Amino acid sequence: MRKTLILLICFCSSFIQSQDFKPYKVKSGKIEYEKLKYSTRSVYKYKNGVETGSSEQIPYVEEQVIYYWDNFGDIAFEERYKISAFGGKILPEKVKISERFWVDEHRYYFNVEENKVSDDPYYLRIKCREQFQYYQIMDSWIETLYMGAEAVEEKELLGKKARYYRIDNYHDIYAWKGLILKDESFSTSGSNGPRFNIKRAKVAVEIDTILKINDTIFNPIWLKREKLYQSLDGNKINELLDARQDLFIQADNVKGLEINKNDILLFVTTNYRLGKLQVLEINDKNKLTIKFKWYNFDNSVGSNRDYFSINNNSLVDLDTVTTKEEVSKEIDFKWENRESQTINPQNNIGIYLIKASRTSSFKLQPYVRN
- CATH code of the domain containing 52: 2.50.20
Reading phi first (left if > 0) and then psi (alpha if -120 to 50, else beta), residue 346 is in: beta
Q: Domain for residue 12, yes or no? A: no
pLDDT tens digit string along 274-323?
999 999 999 999 999 999 999 999 999 999 999 999 999 999 999 999 99
Q: Give residue 336's pLDDT band: very low, low, confident or very high (50, 70, 90).
A: very high
The answer to whether residues 231 and 202 belong to one domain is: no
Residues 136 and 247 in one domain: no
pLDDT at 174: 97
Residue of 278, 251, 260, 276 lying closest to 349 (CA atoms): 251
Binned at pLDDT 50, 70 and 90, residue 42 comes out as low
The residue out of 218, 235, 260 marking a domain boundary is: 218
134 and 144 Cβ atoms separated by less than 8 Å:
yes
C-alpha distances in Å from residue 205, one per residue of 11, 35, 263? 45, 10, 38
Supply the pLDDT for residue 39: 76
Q: Is residue 110 part of a domain?
A: yes
Kindly state whether residues 62 and 182 are assigned to the same domain.
Answer: yes
Same domain, yes or no: 86 and 184 = yes
Shared-domain flag, residues 158 and 258: no
Number of compact structural domains in the chain: 2
- Whether residue 175 is contained in a domain is answered as yes
234 shares its domain with 209? no
Nearby residues of 80 by Cβ (< 8 Å), 6 or more positions away = 63, 64, 65, 96, 97, 98, 99, 100
Kindly report the pTM of this predicted structure. Answer: 0.86
The amino acid sitting at 292 is F
294 bridge partner residues: 275, 303
Do 158 and 28 reside in the same domain of the chain? yes
323 with 208, same domain: the answer is: no
Same domain, 209 and 225: no
One domain for residues 194 and 254: no
What is the average per-residue pLDDT within 239-246? 94
What residue numbers bound the domain in which 349 lies?
A: 221-358
Does one domain contain both 92 and 136? yes
> Residues 114-140: pLDDT tens digits?
999 999 999 888 877 776 555 554 568
Distance CA 309, CA 72 (A): 42
Supply the pLDDT for residue 195. Answer: 82
Q: Of 201, 218, 235, at which residue does a domain stop?
A: 218
- Predicted local distance difference test score (pLDDT) of residue 129: 75
Classify residue 6: in a domain, yes or no. no
* 231 shares its domain with 99: no
The span from the CA of 271 to the CA of 25, in Å, is: 58
Indicate whether 13 pLDDT > 80.
no
Domain ends where: 218, 245, 262? Answer: 218
Q: Is residue 369 part of a domain?
A: no
End-to-end CA distance of the chain: 55
Distance CA 215, CA 24 (A): 19
Beta strands across the sheet bearing 257-258: 257-258, 341-345, 333-337, 314-317, 322-324
Q: Is residue 140 part of a domain?
A: yes
Q: Is pLDDT above 50 for 1? A: no
Question: C-alpha 336: how far from its chain's center?
Answer: 30
The verdict on residue 3 lying in a domain is no
In angstroms, what is the C-alpha Rg of the chain?
A: 27
- Per-residue pLDDT tens for 337-363? 888 999 999 999 999 999 999 999 999
Residue 363 lies in a domain: no
Starting from the edge strand earliest in sequence, which strands make up the sheet with 301-310, in order?
A: 248-250, 350-354, 264-268, 274-282, 288-295, 301-310
175 vs 165: CA distance, rounded Å: 8
